[in-house]
């Protein structure tokens, strides 16, 4: 039996990162076992349909590299399998269950259903339900005569089809992640499978499609665990073999208190969606990892570890590595705490792994956006220095001083405040001595600059911590950044000399 799994989102809004993780685990499992990974759009509930959501889902999967396989069920990149397009087919399955006495027509009006609930509540029933006991007193094909039912159907009276849940029955299945799940059928109500508007409910469509698509493993979020016993009953009612189930743990808020929601992201400043989303009705915007500058590799690597780990201390994994190590048996039962700082750490690691020329080209383009023209070679040399402190490509823009000319102290209040704290007149002659030595250098290289800097420092008796910040502020205009000898080499002798002189003059002018 070859593995076949599906990711089955409902197009009710943007895909939450928990949904992306579900898709990712399905993908990893399929690839690991040489099976198929399919996409199924579960859009039978037209009232919850949100325009643009399906495109969003597909774009997010593409961005993450989780491209569904083409198969008779997924005819091509533009043709994911949509339940709404298979609408006429579900009815025959509802009828098949009725013919087998596993389901029945129910004609109860909303008022009658409400009256039933009131009656049961008054009798002390905590959670009134349409079930094996109550159905005996309702208007359905189990209580009405066959002729009556026929007449009602012919007259077009509204109806639903309900599952006839067996009365004394233990529903059992073994979840790959959670182990044995046992639920008594008295806790399951006679769920609606099919509505008179001709649409199946989620439960019926989900099971019929998993069966017809020959899905071998249903890997989905924990929120579906309560529905799983019902699904097992529906498979039993059809007499179909059921797929294996694996219910993935929740993704929790950073403090571990409950499920991660969009509100947590807004409150703590991180996205919970893969891509930006603009809600078509409310006009509300939500930000995505892609637009924040995350690499898809970093995003998927981080997501993979929310609920699973390959053992040992392996953290950085390519998609191929994850496929190699993935094992559903190692997925945890307990919820996984989301860690926004760790997510940034992953991005930083992936940024460092990018080829220098790529970072250089990106930096060049971003500088251009700020009106700074430079060659790709120079941008690449700068990227090599700047990437060490960068989490995102944008962070490298803190190094604009590498591309401008003239003193970075102009209109620079932060640098001014730092200099006021750090300037000592004794530093003047030492920096002048350095200036003379560096101008005399025939090789303007970082080791040479470091050598002459250390010479003047030792001769002066000052500490590196007294001198280096002045050097840094004069030349870079800021306290953080790459090593000053590398920065100086990139700027070139003339520019460094000019900035050091301007800096000295600036501080001396205070006296």
CA pair distance 311, 300, nearest whole angstrom = 18
Give 30 or 476: the residue with its C-beta nearer to ligand GLU: 30
Q: Which of residues 50-69 bind ligand GLU (CB under 6 A)?
A: none
**Strands 81-82 and 36-41, how do they pair?**
parallel
DSSP string, 252-287: EPTTSSSB--HHHHHHHT--SBSS-EE-TTT--EE-
Choice between 7 and 346, CB closer to ligand GLU: 7
Least distance CB 9 / ligand GLU (angstroms): 5
Q: What is the CA radius of gyration of the chain?
A: 33
CA distance 440 to 452: 10
Q: How many residues bind ligand GLU (CB under 6 A)?
A: 8
Helix (H, G, I), strand (E, B) or coil at 2: coil
What token pair was written down for 423? 């300037």
Least CB distance to ligand GLU at residue 160 (A): 20
406, two tokens: 């003239």
CB of 224 to ligand GLU, least distance (A): 5
Q: Tell me which residue of 417, 369, 407, 364 sits closest to 386, measured CA to CA.
A: 364
What is the DSSP code (8-state) at residue 15? Answer: P
Which residues, numbered 375-394, are part of the site for ligand GLU (CB under 6 A)? none
Pattern 217-246, binding to ligand GLU, x per CB under 6 A?
-x-x---x----------------------
Applying CB under 6 A, which part among 4-12, 102-110, 275-283, 377-385 lies near ligand GLU?
A: 4-12
Least distance from C-beta 480 to ligand GLU, angstroms? 45
| Minimum separation from the CB atom of position 203 to ligand GLU (A) | 9
Least separation in angstroms between CB 199 and ligand GLU: 14
Q: What is the DSSP string of 420-452?
A: HHH--TTHHHHHHHHHHHHHH-SS--HHHHHHH
| Options 6-14, 257-265, 408-416, 448-456: segment touching ligand GLU (CB under 6 A) | 6-14
Going by C-alpha positions, the residue among 336, 339, 340 that lies closest to residue 251 is 336
Q: Which member of 17, 20, 42, 434 binds ligand GLU (CB under 6 A)? A: 42
> Is residue 9 within 8 Å of 41, Cβ to Cβ?
yes
Which span sits near ligand GLU by CB under 6 A: 216-224, 369-377, 401-409, 454-462? 216-224
For ligand GLU, the closer of residues 113 and 328 by Cβ is 328
User: Quick one: which H or E segment has residue 460?
Assistant: helix 446-460
Which of these segments, 5-13, 189-197, 389-397, 424-432, binds ligand GLU (CB under 6 A)? Answer: 5-13
Question: Which of 5, 8, 98, 237 touches ligand GLU by CB under 6 A?
Answer: 8
Q: Determine if 10 is a binding residue for ligand GLU (CB under 6 A).
A: yes
Contact segment (CB under 6 A) with ligand GLU among 7-15, 97-105, 134-142, 406-414 equals 7-15
Which residue, 9 or 288, has its beta carbon nearer to ligand GLU? 9
262 is catalytic: yes
Residue 487 C-alpha from the chain's centroid: 37
Q: Which of 32, 91, 262, 501 is catalytic?
A: 262
Question: What Å distances lie between residue 138 and 116, 400, 493, CA to CA?
Answer: 8, 76, 92
Map residue 333 onto helix, strand or coil.
coil
Joined together, the tokens standing for residue 104 give: 């029945």
Q: Which of 4, 5, 9, 264 binds ligand GLU (CB under 6 A)?
A: 9
- Least Å distance, CB 236 to ligand GLU, is 17
What is the phi-psi region of residue 122: left when phi exceeds 0, alpha when psi lies from -120 to 50, beta otherwise? alpha
Q: Interface residues for ligand GLU in 258-277 (CB under 6 A)?
A: none
Dmax over CA atoms of the chain, in Å, equals 111
**Residues of span 101-160 touching ligand GLU by CB under 6 A:** none
Output b/e per residue, 43-63; b: 16+ Cβ within 10 A. Answer: bbbeeeebeebbebbbebbeb
9 or 68: CB nearest ligand GLU: 9
Q: Which of 74, 140, 206, 364 binds ligand GLU (CB under 6 A)?
A: 206
Residue 113 CB, nearest approach to ligand GLU (Å): 25
Residues labelled catalytic: 262
- Which residues form the interface with ligand GLU (CB under 6 A)? 8-10, 42, 206, 218, 220, 224
């Amino acid at each position: 039996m070859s593995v076949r799994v599906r990711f089955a989102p409902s197009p009710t809004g943007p895909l939450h990162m928990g949904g992306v993780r579900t898709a990712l685990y399905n993908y990893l499992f399929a690839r690991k076992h040489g099976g198929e990974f399919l996409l199924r759009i579960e859009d039978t509930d037209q009232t919850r349909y949100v325009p643009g959501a399906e495109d969003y889902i597909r774009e997010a999967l593409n961005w993450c590299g989780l491209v569904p396989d083409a198969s008779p069920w997924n005819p091509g990149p533009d043709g994911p399998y949509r339940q709404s397009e298979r609408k006429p087919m579900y009815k025959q399955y509802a009828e098949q269950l009725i013919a087998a006495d596993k389901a029945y027509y129910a004609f109860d009006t909303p008022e009658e259903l409400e009256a039933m609930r009131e009656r049961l509540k008054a009798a002390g029933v905590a959670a009134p339900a349409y079930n094996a006991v109550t159905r005996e007193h309702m208007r359905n094909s189990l209580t009405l005569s066959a002729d009556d039912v026929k007449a009602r159907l012919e007259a077009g009276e509204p109806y639903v089809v309900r599952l006839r849940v067996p009365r004394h029955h233990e529903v059992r299945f073994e979840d790959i992640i959670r182990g044995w799940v046992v639920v008594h059928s008295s806790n399951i109500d006679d769920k609606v499978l099919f509505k008179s508007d001709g649409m199946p409910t989620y439960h019926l469509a989900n099971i019929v499609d998993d069966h017809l698509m020959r899905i071998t493993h249903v890997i989905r979020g924990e929120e579906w665990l309560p529905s799983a016993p019902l699904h097992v009953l529906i498979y039993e009612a059809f007499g179909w073999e059921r797929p294996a189930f694996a219910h993935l743990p929740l993704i929790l808020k950073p403090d571990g208190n409950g499920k991660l929601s969009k509100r947590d992201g807004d409150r703590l400043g991180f996205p919970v969606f893969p891509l930006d989303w603009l809600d078509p009705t409310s006009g509300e915007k939500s930000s995505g990892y892609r637009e924040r500058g995350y690499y898809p590799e970093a995003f998927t690597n981080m997501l993979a570890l929310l609920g699973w780990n390959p053992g040992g201390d392996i953290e950085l994994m390519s998609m191929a590595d994850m496929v190699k190590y993935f094992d559903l048996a190692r997925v945890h039962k307990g919820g996984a705490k989301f860690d926004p700082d760790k997510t940034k750490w992953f991005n930083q690691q992936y940024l460092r792994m990018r080829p220098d020329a790529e970072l250089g080209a990106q930096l060049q383009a971003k500088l251009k956006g700020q009106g700074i023209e430079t060659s790709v070679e120079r941008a690449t040399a700068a990227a090599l220095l700047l990437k060490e402190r960068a989490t995102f490509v944008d962070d490298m823009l803190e190094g604009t001083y590498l591309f401008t000319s003239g003193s970075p102290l102009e209109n620079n209040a932060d640098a001014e405040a730092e200099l006021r704290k750090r300037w000592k007149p004794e530093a003047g002659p030492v920096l002048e001595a350095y200036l003379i030595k560096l101008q005399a250098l025939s090789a303007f290289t970082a080791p040479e600059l470091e050598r002459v800097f250390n010479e003047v420092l030792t001769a002066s008796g000052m500490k590196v911590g007294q001198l280096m910040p002045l050097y840094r502020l004069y030349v870079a205009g800021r306290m953080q950044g790459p090593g000053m000898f590398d920065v100086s080499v990139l700027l070139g002798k003339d520019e460094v000399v000019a900035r050091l002189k301007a800096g000295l003059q600036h501080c001396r002018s205070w006296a």
